[in-house]
Chain A
Amino acid sequence: MKRCLIVDDSRVVRKVARRIVEDLRFEADEAADGAQALEFCRKTMPDCILLDWNMPVMNGIDFLRALRREPGGERPTVVFCTTENDMSHIAEAMRSGANEYIMKPFDSEIIESKFNEVGLC
C-alpha cells in the first residue's frame, strides 16, 4: 500500500483529506507543519505528499525546497493543496519541484483527478 503524508495545519482539513486518500487505498500519515513533515520524511519517505502552503513554523514551499535537497527527497510526488490560487503561486510551486497543484476548496473528485494526473492512482 502506498503512503501519503498529509501536511496541513488544520486538523479538519487533515481529517477530510485522510478519509479521501484512504478511500483511494493509501495509507495516510499526518503532519501539522513543514518542520514536522521534514522530520517525518527523514525517517520514512512517503510515496506522495499532499501539501498546504501557509502553515506555522515552516511553510509548504520552504518544506518542498528542503525536501528536494534531502537524500531520496526527489522521490515523493508532491501535490500542493492550498488556498493560494493565483498563477504566481502555482508557478512558484511548480518551479520548486511540485508535481501537481490543487486550489482549495477541494473534494474527493479533485484529489482523485489530480492523483490520476501524476500516476498515483
Chain B
Amino acid sequence: MNSQDFDFVSQLLRKRAGIVLGADKMYLLESRLAPLARKEGLPSIDDLIQVVRSRRDERLITQLVDVMTTNETFFFRDKTPFEHLKEAVLPVLAQARKGQRIRIWCAACSTGQEPYSIAMMIDQQPALTGGVPVEIVATDISERCLERGRQGLFTQFEVQRGLPIQMLMHHFTQQDDHWRVSERIRSMVTFRKMNLMDPSYTLGKFDVIFCRNVLIYFDGPTKTEVMNRLAQSMNPGAFLMLGAAETVIGLTQAFEGAQDRRGLYKLSSKAVKAA
C-alpha cells in the first residue's frame, strides 16, 4: 500500500469513527483489509481502496470502517468496573431514583458481553437496585457486532473468558457448538447502532454510562468532544465508567473522580449547572 492510500484510509477512519491510525499501524490496515478485498472479489487491497476512492460506495465504506474497529471484549472484563457498579453506583442510584427506572448505556458494546454482564449481575442480585427497574441500552458503530449481540449467541471460547461457570449454567443454554444467553437476560438489553462521533445522536439521559477502552483510539480533541457529549446525555448524579487506561484529566471538566475508585467518574457540579 502506498502512502497516499494509507493517508486516504486513515483520514476516512478519523472522519467516520474518530479512529487515529498512526503510520506504524500499516500492518493492521493490511491484515484487516485483505479479507474485505477478497470478500468483495477484488484482487488486492490497492484495488479495494481504488474502488472506495472512486465510487464512494457507502456500503463499502461502512464495511471498511467496521473491519477497522477493534471489537475485543469479554464477560466481566477487568472485573473492577463491575465491583464499582455493584458497590458504589447501583445502591446510590436506587436510593436517588426513588422508584424511577435506572438507565444504563454501554457505549461501544461490541458483541454484547458488557451489557449482558451487567444484566446478569442485576438479575442475580435484585437487591442492588432495590426493585427499581433497569434499562440497558447497548450501542456500537458496527452492525455486524450488534447483530451478534442481539442474537446473544457466543462461542465456547467466548463464554470461558470472564464468565463464571455458575453464571453459564444459570443464564445460558447450549445450541450446537454455541451458547445462547437466556431470553430473560436478552430482554433486558436493547441494541442500537450509533456512532459516538455523530453529534446528532439522541438516546435520552442516562444514570450510568460505560464507555471503556474506546477513547484510547481517539486523539485529544476527539476525546474531549466525545466526553462532553456523553456528559450532555447524563442525568444529575450520573456515573461514567472509563477503561483502566483512560482518564478525563486534562480533557474535560465535565467529570470528577468518584470515591477514589479508578475509572469511575461522576458528572461534575459544574457540568450539572451548565446543563
A→B interface (CB under 8 Å)? 85-87, 90-91, 94, 100-103, 106, 109-110, 113-114, 116-117
Bound Cα distance A113, B75 (Å): 10
- Is B165's CB under 8 angstroms from A110's CB? no
Q: How far is the CB of A20 from chain B (nearest CB, A)?
A: 14
Q: How many A-B residue pairs have CB under 8 A?
A: 33
Known contacts A86-B174, A87-B174; A103/B169 CB under 8 A: no
Q: Mark contacts of B125-168 with chain A using CB atoms, 8 A cut-off: 1 yes-contact digit, 0 otherwise.
A: 00000000000000000000000000000001100111011101
Contacts of B169 in A (CB 8 A): 87, 90-91, 94
Among B160, B166, B173, which residue has its beta carbon within 8 angstroms of that of A103? B160
Q: Is the pair A94, B165 in contact by a Cβ cutoff of 8 Å?
A: yes
Candidates B79, B161, B166, B174; contact of A110 at CB < 8 Å = B161
Residues of chain B touching chain A, judged by Cβ–Cβ distance below 8 Å, are 74, 79, 156-157, 160-162, 164-166, 168-169, 173-174
Most chain B CB within a 10 A radius of its CB, from A86, A102, A110: A110
Q: How far is the CB of A28 from chain B (nearest CB, A)?
A: 21
Closest B residue, CB atoms, query A87: B174
- Could you tell me if B168 and A102 are in contact, using CB atoms closer than 8 angstroms? no
Max count, chain A CB within 10 A of own CB: residue among B74, B79, B165, B174: B165
| CB atoms of A100 and B164 under 8 A apart | yes
The distance from the CB of B6 to the nearest CB of chain A, in whole angstroms, is 32
C-alpha gap A110/B165 in the complex (Å): 12
Contact B162 A85 (CB under 8 A): no
When C-beta atoms are compared, the residue in chain A nearest to B165 turns out to be: A101
Task: Find out whether the CB atom of A90 lies under 8 angstroms from the CB atom of B161.
Answer: no
A109 to B157, CA, bound (A): 10
On chain B, the residues within 8 Å of A91 by CB distance are: 169
CB of A119 to closest CB in B, whole Å: 11
Q: Is the CB of A94 within 8 A of B166?
A: yes
Q: Given A109-B161, A113-B161, A90–B168 Cβ distance below 8 Å?
A: yes
B161/A103 in contact, CB under 8 A: no
Given A85-B174, A106-B160, A113-B160: 9 more A-B contacts, CB < 8 Å: A90-B169, A94-B165, A100-B164, A101-B165, A103-B160, A109-B161, A110-B160, A114-B160, A116-B79
Q: Which residues of A contact B173 (CB under 8 A)?
A: 87
Residues of chain A within 8 A (CB-CB) of B166 are: 94
What CA separation (Å) do A86 and B161 show in the bound complex? Answer: 17
Task: Enumerate 8 A-B pairs (CB-CB under 8 Å) in ascending A order.
Answer: A87-B173, A90-B169, A100-B164, A103-B160, A109-B161, A113-B74, A113-B162, A114-B160
